[in-house]
A = this chain, B = another copy of it.
Amino acid sequence: MSFDAMPRNGDGELPLDEGAVREFVGYNLKRAYMVLYPAAQAAVAELDLRIPTFSGLSVIVRNPGIAPSELAERLSMERSNIVVVIDELETRELVTRTKSKTDRRRFALTATMRGKRLLDKAVAAIRRSEERLLQRLTAEEQAKLVELLNKIEAASTD
């Protein structure tokens, strides 16, 4: 059994149908992402960080000496775009960029003390933002969600 869509009379009293998009996991994914992303953006903006810059910093802190190309791969970004991120991090003295001795094509990226401290603050800020927005999900649900998301991510190599 199916219900035909009713023509709208322009007075806006009929509830809007969601459209076929709602059947897709991708659309639901995007809608949820569009809740968390702007919130995270606002959280790090207070520390004068953009999301890509924050992401770069977060990987460099945990991987002292990482090369830009490795960073790009890890974050699935183009090398050309990672350059801008690194420039920003270096200018703000959050990261140092030194020539590798074993391969002079490469740079070794290392977070400064200042970079580490700022990262800690940024992490805390995004945590607060997610805590607020994920209130309706239990810890188990959040874990389950991440597990399912990671299964999708893993499928990209299929």
Chain B residues whose CB sits within 8 angstroms of the CB of A58 once the complex forms? 19-21
Contact flag A29-B33 (CB < 8 Å), given A8-B65, A16-B66, A133-B155: yes
Please tell me the number of chain A residues within 8 Å of chain B, measured between CB atoms: 78
Question: Chain copies in the assembly?
Answer: 2
Q: Is A81 an interface residue (CB 8 A)?
A: no
Provide the bound-state CA to CA distance between A128 and B142, in Å: 28
Cβ-defined contact, A149 with B31, below 8 A: yes
Cβ-defined contact, B25 with A146, below 8 A: yes
* Interface of chain A, main secondary structure: helix
Provide the bound-state CA to CA distance between A156 and B129, in Å: 12
- A108-130: contact bitstring with B at CB < 8 Å (1 yes, 0 no)? 10000000000100010011001
Cβ-defined contact, B152 with A137, below 8 A: yes
Chain B residues whose CB sits within 8 angstroms of the CB of A18 once the complex forms? 59, 62, 74
Q: Closest residue of chain B to A157, judged by CB?
A: B35
State which residues 40-66 of A face B: CB under 8 Å.
Answer: 40, 54-55, 58-66
Q: Is A134 an interface residue (CB 8 A)?
A: yes
Cβ-defined contact, B119 with A20, below 8 A: yes
